[in-house]
Structure 1
Amino acid sequence: MAQYTFRTRSSDCPYELAIGLVSGRWKPRLLEVLKDETLRYGDLKERLKPVSDKVLSAALDDMTRNGLISRTAFAEIPPRVEYALTPQGESLLEALGPLRDWARTENGR
């Protein structure tokens, strides 16, 4: 059986690999929020209410480690960190489009 690998994840099923990259409540939402602009942590937290700091930090760390989101830290006082989609994150968001469309259709929207 073939093995599929993307950064830190691997699976013998390409569906499992792709879905695993965005599994959880907040990861698809993070992709959507970052699709048009680079945002700081506080801005992300504000747009993703009521996500907890622990869950948001874990999702950002995982998605950064997997190359879907970039994290840029600026050497300033106070420190500033910005998050943006990478080309891989953009392509994954595009791939999720038909799934989003299916959900909208099934809900009559």
Structure 2
Amino acid sequence: METIASSSAFPPDAFAKDCASRVVLDRIGDRWTVLVVGALADGRLRFSELRTRIEGITPKVMTQTLRALERDGVLTRTVYAEVPPRVEYELTDLGRDLLVPIDAIRHWAEQHASRIVANREVYDR
């Protein structure tokens, strides 16, 4: 397992191979992370509601993404003692802070998607 430097003696530098920020960039660079965090922007949702909101994600990948985000402290998972059990996911303060850059990237992507697709078509000819 690779050791990630977290010493406060050196300032964070994502370009340094052992910088802990690379782990964070890996997480937020994942498309499903971006979509899950964005889907939870308006409040808590159940697993099935998230799957409906995020088209194309498989249950397995959704579960893996939710577990990773819970582990990182980006969201919370609340299980209610009901029959059948009800589970809801909600962003933490850390997750809500992440909405700012994610929304900026999502808006940029939506605004420029047609140009990028056109550029790809030209390049691939």
* TM-score of the aligned structures, taking structure 2 as reference length: 0.69
Indicate the residue corresponding to 1:47 in structure 2: 53
Q: Which has the larger radius of gyration?
A: 2
Deviations, residues 2-52 of structure 1 (Å, cap 9, x unaligned): 468xxxxxx5164x3442222322110111110012100011111112211
Q: Find the aligned partners of 1:40 and 1:98 in 2 and give their Cα distance.
A: 25
Q: Which moved more, 1:96-105 or 1:23-32?
A: 96-105
User: Aligned runs of 1:1-109 on 2, under 5 Å?
Assistant: 1-2=10-11, 11-12=18-19, 14=21, 16-107=22-113
Pick closer, same or farther for the CA change 1:105–1:52 going to 2, 3 Å.
closer
Q: Which moved more, 1:24-33 or 1:57-66?
A: 24-33
Contact in 2 for aligned 1:72/1:83 (Cα 8 Å) = yes
* TM-score of the aligned structures, taking structure 1 as reference length: 0.78
Q: Find the aligned partners of 1:93 and 1:42 in 2 and give their Cα distance.
A: 22
Q: Which consecutive residues of structure 2, in runs of 5 or more, have no partner in the other structure? A: 1-9, 116-125
Deviation at 1:76, TM superposition (A): 1.0
Indicate the residue corresponding to 2:5 in structure 1: none
Bigger RCO of structures 1 and 2 (CA < 8 A, at least 6 apart): 1
Poorly superposed stretches of 4+, deviation over 6 Å = none
Pairwise CA RMSD: 2.3
